[in-house]
Amino acid sequence: MAKETGLGWTTLSVDDSAGTPQAIKNDVHNFEFATPRGVQDVTGVDRSAMERLLLLADFSITLNGTFNDAAGFSHQVFKTVPSTSVARTVTLVVSGQTLANETLFTDYQLTRGEDGSLVFTAPGVLADGTVPAWS
């Protein structure tokens, strides 16, 4: 077992609205993703500590990057978020570990900074009820 940095992601791809994976890792500056589980509190009055049950699994992701309208890059992938209702496969690969999920992107936000930068934020959530799992 070896500790590693977050450098050198092998894959960060997102399907465009036609279902074709696009490698956008060069456009993405940073991202965060989570694979939380719901929890139900089932603590009875006979307990002195919390008692819980694990519930449904979930996945969410937020990608942040630089506007790039070249064919096959970030703007081409996300510009259809407001006008299409399609799930998109998000594939993350680092150190030979793969996490792929069907994702609904809920927004495509563009920000023009005071310094002239043009950046995007694209948040997404699990689409199809498949439990997120690393392989």
pLDDT per residue as tens digits for the range 53-104:
999 999 999 999 999 999 999 999 999 999 999 999 999 999 999 999 999 9
Q: Are 116 and 105 in contact (CB under 8 A)?
A: no
pLDDT above 90 for 36? yes
Written as one string, the DSSP assignment of the chain is: -----S---SEEEEE-TTS-EEE-TTTEEEEEEE--EEEEE---TT-SS--EEEEEE--EEEEEEE---STTSHHHHHTTTTT----EEEEEEETTEEEEEEEEE---EEEE-TTS-EEEEEEEEE-S-PPP-B-
Domain locations in the chain as residue ranges: 11-126
pLDDT of amino acid 1: 60
pTM for this entry: 0.91
